[in-house]
Amino acid sequence: MPSTEPAGRRPIKSRDLPIFKNLAAWLVEHNATPNAISFLSMVFGALSGIAFAATSHVTGLAWHLCWLLAAVGIQLRLVANLLDGMVAVEGGRGGPTGDLWNEAPDRLADAFIFIGAGYGAGSIPEMGYAAALVSVFAAYVRALGASLGAGQIFLGPQAKQQRMAVMTATCVLLTVYPGRFLDLAPHGFFLLLALTIVIVGGLVTAFRRLKRIAEYLRKKELAAAAIRQTELKIAS
């Protein structure tokens, strides 16, 4: 597939891996649309959130499987996020509503995952809602920067990939966490710690992005003022 890398596209190293290139090519050959893949990312996010919440209602092997399913759902969401762009750009299947489908399902997937985590075993619902709000706000600031001309700002430390990495690592840990260590560190401790990292890191991320946008706007105004002064001198 020919590559026509658009400006402002999120840099993702895994995009160059043969497995994803081949999978994207296969999807293009079978007439998959980027919008449908974006929709699937939301579905995977919802399934992950359901698995998170289910950990509060099951025990034994099912409990461990729910953590594993939550991790798998997160990773499938990320793979879908990767492939929708590859099919649209490298595969030339993008359409007029591509930007809309690229963003809206992503925000819902974030909300499903974090709200579900808030209802996970040992967690606190308010923490899940807070993490969802912060993640959506950080993404909004990125989109705001683009609308103001500053471009897509993917600064961290808790951009989407980092948020999902934190939650996936937590799920994997809880999948294999030995019960004999419960007195040392309850299961809920790890999930609440992960949500705290997402919330604090997300706020730092939003602040850094806002700061970068403000710097751009100040420089833009200074440049415009310099042009106006030059024009006045020429006119006089």
Confidence of residue 5 (pLDDT cuts 50, 70, 90): very low
Mean pLDDT, the chain, whole residue set: 90
Q: Is residue 45 part of a domain?
A: yes
57 inside domain: yes
Is residue 11 over pLDDT 80?
no
Q: pLDDT tens-digit profile of 79-103?
A: 999 999 899 888 888 788 878 888 8
Q: Does residue 140 lie in a domain region?
A: yes
4 falls within a domain: no
**pLDDT score recorded for residue 124:** 96
The total number of structural domains that make up the chain = 1
Query: CA–CA separation, 120 vs 132, rounded Å?
Result: 14
As a whole number, mean pLDDT of residues 53-77 equals 96
Distance CA 199, CA 131 (A): 5
Q: What is the predicted pLDDT for the residue at 175?
A: 93
Q: Where are the alpha helices (DSSP H) in the chain?
A: 18-29, 34-54, 60-88, 98-118, 125-147, 160-176, 187-235
Is the residue at 131 inside a domain?
Answer: yes
Task: State how far the alpha carbon of 179 is from the alpha carbons of 60, 97, 192, in Å.
Answer: 10, 49, 18
Q: Which domain holds residue 206?
A: 13-235
DSSP-derived secondary structure for 89-101: TTTS---TTHHHH
Query: Is 1 within a domain?
Result: no
Is residue 48, in this structure, part of any structural domain at all? yes
Task: Report the amino acid identity of residue 151.
Answer: G
In sequence order, what are the residues at sequence separation of 6 or more whose Cβ sits closer than 8 angstroms to the Cβ of residue 121? 55, 56, 63, 187, 188, 191
CA distance 166 to 151: 26
- Whether 182 maps to a domain, the answer reads yes
pTM: 0.90
Contacts of residue 232, defined as CB under 8 A and 6 or more positions apart, other chains included, come to: none
- CATH number assigned to the domain comprising residue 120: 1.20.120.1760
- Tell me the HSE value of 88 on the side-chain side, using a 13 A CA sphere: 23
Structure tokens at 114: 């974090």
pLDDT tens-digit profile of 43-56? 999 999 999 999 99
CA distance 97 to 233: 46
Model pLDDT for residues 109-163, shown as the tens digit of each residue: 999 999 999 999 999 999 999 999 999 999 999 999 999 999 889 988 999 999 9
